[in-house]
Structure 1
């Protein structure tokens, strides 16, 4: 009997166009094909949940106890325990994602706060270009998927050299980074090039159709494939926690003096992770074998995958969706790029910011869980749409906090209020992320689910990345700062763009002057982004999103 069509969550809007075989407690699927990506796996699991939702209460309870055979008779469900091989594979995947998360988190999280002491916002804008490879990796992912050495393995052919390069770059940087950071103004281009190279390599080693995510499909046994996303979550979040929260706290001089522990330098931190990278690379090279893969019938060549991507992009509804992604995050672009930097500039300790992020972490998990439940059914974009207004509201609240930021030391009450604002703002962002992910799962063509999901996720990430350079440039462009120098009872006002950086303020102080900010471009930039975000939301994003959500899933298919 042919396999029933793979359904996506929320098919109630298109049931008339989908033929469903006579329902039984979990109609068995044919032999499971080899999926290209973890995204394919997610789509399949969601489809099976929809099948369960079509059963009556009695049938569902019977299905929970076993599977049905072709004649409707229940067979005892056997859930295989974790084998030693699966346990080792899960640990390996967590470590691979951890190594991927460390350079990305250090770049996107910690380094700008250290550089802010030396660079202006315009110079930080140049450095922000380093994060772009994460949003553009779709363009070379087909090459990673198709080119490899059969004797080494499809995944190991890329993971081993990429991790060796990451470890080597970290080791090299550990001997030079402190000098570069201390003279960051003279080495902005060099810093940008080095970190762009590091992010490019990490992105190639990374997720969304590239090495670890695809390797999970052959490392784990079929019955435990669903734990691949769990490994991804644990590894990436642990890397973020280590490179942002832990590093910022231990790198803080105030935190070190308060707790009587040595201050952790960036050089030492880089050496530590270079050793981890080399150790894992050696293990993969000599001790970890890669299973052979069975490929499906469709074209998996480089040319074939690029043609598939182009076929997806040509769909009218996909084009509308991509436009929504590119402009959906403009309302909080300035907030994401500059608000925390401004708070640190106003006197918030980096270790206090790290604590705020630490408190926020469990609430992100809770928000993801609630949004996942809320996104079920035929309106997966509902939480994404509803969370827009509170998220824009918290952007305004954050700007007010920066405007009215008290002189240090800040009180406990204000810090608690600051943490609460951070948690609620991040909570709304998590709800939006999960809601959009549920929508992507629903509309992706199961036949090419990995490529489809990668395309949509690429534009989602790009929507939050592309404005950053322009936002940071605008903060300096709209700022007016002067260096006031008093001499012989008279006051000389000198316009100095350098006054927007800590180094410029120090230079002004060296000549006996004081930097005076007449106009802070942060507030103008935030206001412009917020206004553009609201206008785009009302006139384009919300109407388009509701229209796209109401479409039957067949409208998103290439192979119908």
Structure 2
């Protein structure tokens, strides 16, 4: 009965409308992450050290810790607003206001290298956007039926990159006076100016306003759906968990042997390409291979790859296996990127070859990253228990993000002890060896976990078992199939 009622609520909304609203929310999320990501480039241009850069990586840790408060979002809500909108509405308003206020102070913080202040401010911004991510992930799981659940992952893997593109590439390129004059003013016959298309402050204020406008629009369009969905959930609350039970559910998941294997697979693969991911863009700026605006311009065409690649996996059957198959090519690509950086000073005199190779390497790097991300997201969505959708999906993504954050922080902190001229190449080589070892241990494991039935990843309520025998007792959770 519950599944039929849920599908009835979903069927009232066209698929295109669900995809559109989820995409918009993920775009706003991506813009925020893009702005936070390029902060390291701004401080690098002002002479920040590797140690200061490692401190800035702390701003992304809320994405790794959001499991701590995800159950609150699944359990506590205002009935009139709906389960997701109770949290989504105020969070987006807060983010909009924070962006507008920060726009008046950010440039001064960057130029004077107030690393501690920047870290604290963006830590809280990412804290709120991580909470928004919990809401959107959980909402997407209810909007898309089991037959098209992969659209949750696809929407995320398209919306976030598009937002990242706007918050990083567009910002870096058109905030620059030189790039704006060459790409816009000169071709259109406008007078060249000593400033860009917009300032950093104007960019932040614009997106702050967009947060506020989008929040109002989404609230109006989906108000009826939230009310219907909430009423349906309350009518079928026999399968829902309260706050304590939700936390106990997650704790008991850690006792399952299969989850021990899955934790290894999602937390440790980052170390194979941590140096390439965390250091390459900084090396390009520190060695004056690229300017900030040139880096933004080069990464612009890559948005086509980031958007189209996830669509190729809209009907993937074995996502976890596919993830493993793309791991070694990504490792090898990291070696080619390091070789390119090593010979970059000699190749710069051949500008066509230099920029062509750079775009190809960046494009392949993004393609493999987003192929893996889409496959991983599809597997997470497949095994997620819909009774605690936000919490379960957040549990998996948080641990994955924690592995990425730890690997990046560790690499940036460690390279400060290495010889400056060779630190990048040593780090890439060591990470490549670690990645090869990881793949040897993980290959069979990915096939084994992929072939498990979906029920194997869920815990069963005692109450459900008792109802089958005509009894009513206080609900607790136990592993499905008795597997612990």
**TM bin (shorter chain):** 0.7 to 0.9
Counterparts of 1:528-547 in structure 2, within 5 Å, are 528-538=430-440, 540-547=441-448
CA distance in 2, matches of 1:320, 1:554: 17
Q: Which residue, 359, 375, 382 being the options, matches 1:419? A: 359
Distance 2:247 2:291 in 1: 47
- Report if aligned partners of 2:152, 2:381 keep a CA contact under 8 Å in 1: no
Structure 2 match to 1:31? 4
**Aligned-residue offset at 1:141:** 1.0
Cα gap change, 1:35 to 1:393, in 2 (>3 Å): farther
Unaligned runs of 5+ in 1: 4-28, 42-78, 481-518
Q: Does 1:385 align with 2:332?
A: no
Partner Cα distance (1:226, 1:100) in 2: 19
TM-aligned CA distance change 1:458 to 1:112, over 3 Å: same
Q: Please tell me whether the aligned partners of residues 328 and 541 of structure 1 are also in contact (alpha carbons under 8 angstroms).
A: no
Q: Is 2:39 the partner of 1:111?
A: yes
| Cα shift at 1:384 | 1.7
Write out per-residue CA displacement over residues 523-557 of structure 1, whole angstroms, 9 at most, x where no aligned residue. 2222222222222222x222432443354555434
1:194 to 97, 111, 121: 121
C-alpha contact 2:70 2:390 (8 A) present in aligned 1: no
Q: What is the aligned partner in structure 1 of residue 135 from structure 2?
A: 211
1:520 and 2:422 equivalent? yes
Tell me: CA distance 1:437–1:93, structure 2 relative to 1, closer, same or farther (3 Å): closer
1:472–1:300 CA distance, 2 compared to 1 (3 A): same
The structure with the greater share of residues assigned to helix is 2
Q: CA deviation at 1:145?
A: 2.3
Q: After TM superposition, give the deviation of residue 413 of structure 1 in Å.
A: 1.5
C-alpha distance in 1 between matches for 2:265 and 2:151: 31
Deviations 1:410-448 (A, max 9, x none): 601111111111222222223322333344345445665
**Which of the residues 355, 363, 366 maps onto 2:305?**
363
Q: How does 1:477-516 map to 2 (within 5 A)?
A: 477-480=417-420
Deviation at 1:332, TM superposition (A): 0.3
Bigger CA radius of gyration: 1
1:72-115 CA-partner distances (Å, limit 9, x unpaired):
xxxxxxx98959xx85x76554443332221112112x221111
Q: In the alignment, which residue of structure 1 is the partner of 2:175? A: 251
The correspondence of residues 382-461 of structure 1 with structure 2, limited to 5 A, is 382-406=321-345, 411-445=351-385, 451-461=391-401
Provide the rounded CA distance (Å) in 1 between the counterparts of 2:376 and 2:147.
Answer: 27
* Structure 2 residues without counterparts, runs of 5 or longer: 186-191, 461-479
Is 1:352–2:265 an aligned residue pair? Answer: no
- What's 1:298 paired with? 239
The aligned counterpart of 2:255 is 314
Contact 1:474 1:521 in 2 (8 A): no
**Cα drift, residue 330 of structure 1:** 0.5
Q: Which has the higher contact order (CA 8 A, sep 6+)?
A: 2
Partner of 2:464: none
SS at 1:406 equivalent: helix
Tell me the C-alpha RMSD between the 2 structures.
3.4
Per-residue deviation at 1:271? 1.3
Q: Secondary structure at the match of 2:83?
A: coil
Query: Aligned-pair distance for 1:320?
Result: 1.2
Please state if 1:463 is matched with 2:403. yes
Shift of 1:327: 1.1
> Normalising to structure 1: TM-score of the pair?
0.70
Count of residues in correspondence between the two structures: 441
Task: Please say if residues 160 and 284 of structure 1, whose CA atoms lie closer than 8 Å, have aligned partners that are also in contact.
Answer: no
Q: Equivalent of 1:174, from 99, 103, 109? A: 103
Specify the SS of the correspondent of 2:169: helix
> Partner residue of 1:516?
none
**Is 1:237 matched with 2:161?**
yes
Aligned mate of 1:132, from 42, 61, 74 = 61
| TM-score, with structure 2 as normaliser | 0.80
Distance 2:144 2:374 in 1: 25
SS in structure 1 opposite 2:78?
A: coil
Instruction: Give secondary structure in 2 for the equivalent of 1:204.
Output: helix
The verdict on how the C-alpha distance between 1:531 and 1:382 changes in structure 2, with shifts beyond 3 A counting, is same
Contact 1:372 1:435 in 2 (8 A): no
Secondary structure at the counterpart of residue 348 of structure 1 = coil
Cα offsets for 1:478-513 (capped at 9, x unmatched): 134xxxxxxxxxxxxxxxxxxxxxxxxxxxxxxxxx
Greater Cα shift, 452-461 or 238-247: 452-461
Partners of 1:338 and 1:472 within 8 A in 2 = yes
Cα distance in 2 for residues equivalent to 1:231 and 1:369: 9
Alpha-carbon shift at residue 450 of structure 1 (Å): 5.1
Asked whether the equivalents of residues 440 and 453 of structure 1 are also in contact (C-alpha less than 8 Å), the reply is yes
| Alpha-carbon distance between aligned partners in 1 of 2:200 and 2:162, rounded to the nearest angstrom | 18
Matched, 1:549 2:483: no
Cα pair 1:168 1:274 within 8 Å, conserved: yes
Q: Equivalent residue for 2:474? A: none
Cα distance change, pair 362–147 in 1 and its aligned pair in 2 (3 A): same
Query: Which string of whole-angstrom CA distances, capped at 9 and with x for unpartnered residues, describes residues 119-153 of structure 1?
Result: 11110110110011112212211112222333444
1:245 deviation in Å?
1.7
SS in 1 for 2:345: coil
CA distance in 1, matches of 2:148, 2:439: 41
